[in-house]
């Protein structure tokens, strides 16, 4: 029996080219989104309780993602008419309008992203891909079927990546780190002369752990 190879992207890789059908019409991903951040997240199946809570949670934060110039895209193996009916159900029964597109993926698309759940048939894992304006994969999260995602962490991750690209590394739990709050970590010195000057230039715990104010 021939083994099926999963070519899932790794951090820093180009996001694979996908031509897909969505609830908003055909899309080329990432081509149609080049120049923007986007979050593509998969769910196991339409008309399931945990996935419904996730979609409502993502939609609740839709404006936050828009302010970050970051697009949301959902995805599962369900056919597009199922997505449409589910979105209609969420609107009619929960009074929440899903404003982002949902991809009707096939097995080929899911395999490119490593999203088929082992031992779960065609169900897709709860994957999250954060992709930057250069179409590079910057962050990947995977959750099992039984555990819903924390959307505040997805928002925080996008903000943190955008800040890190411009200002430097961010600490655990940023912007509410236990040691330095929302301050930015300065890259460690790479030679003795720079190390000696670090404490004169920044606030430091030591020469290798210095930090500076967040630029607003």
Catalytic residues: 51
Tokens of 111: 């395999």
Distances (CA, A) of 46 to 24, 27, 59: 17, 20, 16
CA–CA separation, 14 and 16 (whole Å): 6
**Whether the Cβ atoms of residue 9 and residue 135 lie closer than 8 Å to each other:** no
Burial of 129 (0-12, 13-18, 19+ CB in 10 A): buried
Burial of 203 (0-12, 13-18, 19+ CB in 10 A): middle
- Its sign, for the CA torsion 47, 50, 53, 54, is negative
CA–CA separation, 58 and 39 (whole Å): 10
**Whether the Cβ atoms of residue 51 and residue 72 lie closer than 8 Å to each other:** no
């Amino acid at each position: 029996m021939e083994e099926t190879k999963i070519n899932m992207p790794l951090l820093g890789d180009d996001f694979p080219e996908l031509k897909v059908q969505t609830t908003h019409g055909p899309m080329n991903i990432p081509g149609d989104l080049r120049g923007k951040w986007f979050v593509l997240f998969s769910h196991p199946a339409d008309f399931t309780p945990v996935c419904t809570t996730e979609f409502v949670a993502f939609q609740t934060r839709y404006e936050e993602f828009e302010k970050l110039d970051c697009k949301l895209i959902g995805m599962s193996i369900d056919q597009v008419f199922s997505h449409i009916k589910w979105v209609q159900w969420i609107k009619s029964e929960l009074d929440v309008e899903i404003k982002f597109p949902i991809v009707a993926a096939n097995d080929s698309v899911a395999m490119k992203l490593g999203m088929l759940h082992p031992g779960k048939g065609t169900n897709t894992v709860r994957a999250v891909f954060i992709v930057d304006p250069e179409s590079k994969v910057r962050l990947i999260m995977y959750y099992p079927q039984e555990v819903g995602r924390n959307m505040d962490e997805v928002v925080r991750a996008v903000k943190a990546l955008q800040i890190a690209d411009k200002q430097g590394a961010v600490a655990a739990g940023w912007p509410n780190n236990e040691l330095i709050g929302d301050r930015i970590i300065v890259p460690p010195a790479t030679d003795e002369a720079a190390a000696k000057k670090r404490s004169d230039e920044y606030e430091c715990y030591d020469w290798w752990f210095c930090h500076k104010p967040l630029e607003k």
